A and B are shown apart, each in its own frame.
Chain A
Amino acid sequence: MLGKGGKRKFDEHEDGLEGKIVSPSDGPSKVSYTLQRQTIFNISLMKLYNHRPLTEPSLQKTVLINNMLRRIQEELKQEGSLKPMFTPSSQPSDSLSDSYREAPPAFSHLSSPPTHPCDLGSTTPLEACLTPASLLEDDDDTFCTSQTVQPASPTRLSSPALPQEKDSFSSALDEIEELCPTSTSTEAAVAVTDNLKGTSSESSILKPEGSQEGRADDSKLMDSLPGNFEITTSTGFLTDLTLDDILFADIDTSMYDFDPCTSASGTASKMAPVSADDLLKTLAPYSSQPVTPSQPFKMDLTELDHIMEVLVGS
C-alpha cells in the first residue's frame, strides 16, 4: 500500500517504468516494457488465482483482469515469443524477451529443490510475488526464473482442472497411472500437470480454459466462465455429489474446512473451493507408492474409475 511516509524507491522505478508506454522498438526501453508487461501479467494471475474470498469475487474486477491478461497474451503472440508452456526440452535462454518462455523449464528445475518448495497445494505467499519493486532491482534472471514461476504454477494447476472437474479428474487418474514410474509425489504432480497441459495441447494459460470450455457441455451446465470466473460453482457441483464420501473416504477431510467461517456458518457444504491442487494432493498418497506399479494402487484406481463411471452415468 502506498501509505503515509517518505518516498519509496519503488517510485523511482515506477516513473521510469510507466511514465509513458514506449514502443517496443526502443532499444533499452524494450527491456523495461517487457519487464513491466511481465510484472503486470504476474500480478494479474495472482489476483485471479490466489484469491479465496468468502463472497463471490467481483465480476467486473475479474473481467478487467482477464482482459488485461488476454491483451498481454495477444501482444506476446504477436511478438512471436509465445511457445508451449511445458516443453521440457526447450533450453532456457537468457534474453529477457524470452522471459515468458523461460518459465516452464525453470518450473521443473525448481520443483525438487527444497529452497523452492513447489508446494502445489498451497497458495503462493503473496509477499513472495508482490514485490515487483525489489524484484526489479534484483538480477533480472532471478526475477524471470524464480518469480514468474511461483505465481504461474498454481494457476496452471487450478485453471485447467476446475471447469472440467469430471474430465480432468478422470484424466488426472489416467496421468497418475502413467506416472507410476516416477518416484516422488512432487514430480508426479509436475508430470501430471505436464500431461494435463499436453492433452490440451495449448500454448498459454488462458487458452486451455478456452478449449476445455469449448469441448465440454459442462460450461453450459455450470454457466461458468473460464475457470477463474466461477471456480466455486464448479467445485460446488462436486460437493453436491453424494459419492464424495466414498471417493475421499481415506482422506483426511479436514483440509476442506479450510475456512472456519464458512464451515461454521455454512452447513450444507464443508467443501469450499477445492482447487485442483487439493485434488492432486489427495491423490498424491496414491502415487507415493513404490516405483513399480503396485497392485493396490491399480485396484484403487479401477475402483475410482468405476465410481467415476457411475457418476457420469448418473
Chain B
Amino acid sequence: MVLQPSERHYRDWNHRRLGPWCSPTGSPAPLSCETGCGEGSWILVCRLLVPTQVNLLSMEEDIDTRKINNSFLRDHSYATEADIISTVEFNHTGELLATGDKGGRVVIFQREQESKNQVHRRGEYNVYSTFQSHEPEFDYLKSLEIEEKINKIRWLPQQNAAYFLLSTNDKTVKLWKVSERDKRPEGYNLKDEEGRLRDPATITTLRVPVLRPMDLMVEATPRRVFANAHTYHINSISVNSDYETYMSADDLRINLWNFEITNQSFNIVDIKPANMEELTEVITAAEFHPHHCNTFVYSSSKGTIRLCDMRASALCDRHTKFFEEPEDPSNRSFFSEIISSISDVKFSHSGRYIMTRDYLTVKVWDLNMENRPIETYQVHDYLRSKLCSLYENDCIFDKFECVWNGSDSVIMTGSYNNFFRMFDRNTKRDVTLEASRENSKPRAILKPRKVCVGGKRRKDEISVDSLDFSKKILHTAWHPSENIIAVAATNNLYIFQDKVN
C-alpha cells in the first residue's frame, strides 16, 4: 500500500489534528538517560491518534484533511475497535516508532528532525507510513476467524536505506520493507510518459533516463510471509542478534526461522503433551538474548522462566536454567497461579538481567541466580483484594508488558485507569503517571498519581473503587537512548519526554 503525502502534508495534518498540543518547549532531551524518573519531570510531547479506516481512504482520494480533522476533534470518542493499539515498538535508533492495531494496520511514526526554523518541534513524532499488514482470515477447518490484530512488531537493525520490520498476528509473521522514494526516472526509450509502450518504429533517437526529484513517497512492501507454522496463537517474536534468524513463539511451541526461508522453520521448543488433557502450562512470552545468538528465554503461565541454549540440542526442551520464585505461603489464594502467570519477559540491554511481568508485580532476575528474583516491584498491589471480581470480568487475564530504559536503570509498566508506573532501580523510587486527555495539559509536567487504599482519601488521590478497569495501559515503549516514552491507551498514543530544566 502506497501513500503519497508530502512531508509537509503529514506534518500539517498532524499539527492541525493535535491543536495546541504539538510543540514542547525547552531544549532537546539529553542524550544520556541518567536522569531517572524523578517526580515531576515528565512532560507530554504529543498525543497521536491512529488514523481510522475512513481517514485512510480519504487520504488516498486526496480529500481535504481539515474536514476529517475537525470531525476527529469534535468527537473524541470517535474510535472503532479496529483502532485499538495492540503493540508499540521503537526501532534501534529511536527515530521510528511503530504501532500495530486490532485492525491489522501498522502505523509508523518518525521523529521530527531538528531544524533551525522550527527548533521547538523536535521530539515530536509524525506519521511516516501506514499500511495494512494483516487481513482477517477464516479457518475453514475449525470454523473460526483468525484475527488480524497485530500482536507484536519487531524492528530489524538498519542495514541500508530501507527499514525492515516483522509484524505478526495470531498465525502469520510478515517481513515488511519500508522505503522512501523521492526520485523518479524519466525519459525512457521504450515507454512514453504514461508508461505505455512506444511503437519501436517511432523511436528515432536514444536518450538516457534521468532521475528527477518527486514528492517524497514512503512505500511498504511485504518481502516475506512466514505462514502455516503455528497451530496455536503466536504471542512473541524476537529477532536474533545474528540478524539472520528470528523466533516466533505460540502457546506450545517455538519456531526458529531464517529470514530468507519462508517455507521451513525449525521447532526448537515443544511443550505440547501427548495427551492434551494433561496440559497445564503454556508459553506466554519468549525473547532472544541481546548478544548471545544461541541463548533465549521463554516464560510460562505458571510463573517460570526457562533459559535455553540452542547449542545443547536441536530441540531445546531441556532448559539450561530454570527461574522460579517459591510461592509466598502468606499470599496464597485461589488465584495464586493465575496472577503468577508471566505476561511479558524482556532481557535488559546489557543482557545480564531479565525482567518479568506478572499480574501484580514486575520482577528483575539476575541470569546467574535462578532461585529468586533480585528485585520485585509491586505495580498495583491494592488489587490483591479484588482478584475475585477481576477474575469474573476477565481483567485478571490482561497481559501487561514491561520495558527497560536505555541504560537499564529504570523499568516501566502499565496499569489500569490509564496509569503507568516507572521504577528506578538505583534510587528505589517509583512514580505513577496517567496518560489521559482530561488530565494532561499540553507541555505541562505530568502530575504523579496516587491510589489510596485505606479509608481516608486525600485530595488528589483516587480510590481503588473508582479505577476504570476498561482503561488499561498494556503496551509501552522506551526510546533506546533517550528519555522518551510511548504509551498506548486504547486508540491513543501518548509520547512523553523527560523535561530537562
Contact = CB atoms under 8 A, between A and B. Distances in A.
17 contacts: A1-B393, A2-B393, A7-B465, A11-B465, A18-B333, A18-B334, A36-B388, A47-B394, A55-B147, A63-B281, A64-B341, A67-B337, A132-B388, A132-B392, A219-B275, A219-B277, A233-B142
B350 interface: no
Interface string B354-394: 00000000000000000000000000000001111111111
Given A67-B280, A226-B277, A60 B142 contact: no
B146 interface: yes
Interface of A: 1-8, 10-11, 14-15, 17-21, 36-37, 39-40, 43, 47, 53-56, 58-61, 63-64, 66-68, 70-72, 130, 132, 209-210, 213-214, 219, 223-226, 229-230, 232-233, 235-236, 239, 262, 265-269, 271-273
B280 to A, nearest CB: 6
Contact of A59 (B142, B232, B394): B232
Interface of B: 138-147, 170, 232-233, 251-252, 275-277, 279-282, 284, 301, 330, 332-334, 337-338, 341, 385-394, 397, 463, 465-470
A209 B388 CA distance: 26
B388 A1 contact: no
B333 A262 contact: no
Contacts of A63: 279-282, 301
Given A1-B469, A58-B233, A18 B385 contact: yes
B341 A56 contact: no
Interface centre among A6, A59, A68 (most CB of B within 10 A): A59
Contacts of A4: 466-468
B466 A5 contact: yes
B143 A239 contact: yes
- Residue from B140, B141, B143, B337 with most neighbouring chain A CB atoms (10 Å): B143
A64 B468 CA distance: 25
Given A3-B468, A64-B337, A265-B138, A213 B277 contact: yes
A225 B338 CA distance: 20
Nearest to A237: B141
A54 B145 contact: yes
B396 to A, nearest CB: 9
Given A40-B334, A60-B341, A14 B142 contact: no
Given A37-B334, A56-B142, A60-B341, A213 B275 contact: yes
Given A60-B284, A267-B140, 12 more contacts: A1-B470, A14-B389, A37-B334, A47-B394, A55-B147, A60-B301, A61-B394, A63-B279, A224-B276, A226-B277, A229-B279, A232-B142
Contact of B465 (A6, A43, A229, A273): A6
Given A1-B469, A18-B387, A236-B142, A60 B280 contact: no
Nearest to A270: B143
A229 B276 contact: yes
A265 B145 contact: yes
B388 A18 contact: yes
Contacts of B333: 18, 20-21
A60 B143 contact: no
Contacts of A219: 275-277
Contacts of A268: 140, 143
A55 B341 CA distance: 22
Nearest to B281: A63
10 tightest Cβ-Cβ pairs between the two chains A and B = A225-B276, A59-B251, A268-B140, A269-B143, A55-B145, A54-B145, A60-B282, A21-B333, A56-B144, A213-B277
Contact of A61 (B389, B397, B467, B470): B397
Contacts of B394: 47, 61
B145 A2 contact: no
B138 A266 contact: yes
B484 to A, nearest CB: 31
Contacts of A210: 277
Contacts of A18: 333-334, 385, 387-388
Contacts of A262: 143, 145
Contacts of B301: 60, 63-64
Nearest to A210: B277
Contacts of B147: 55
Contacts of A224: 276
Nearest to A2: B469
Given A2-B393, A219-B275, A36 B334 contact: yes
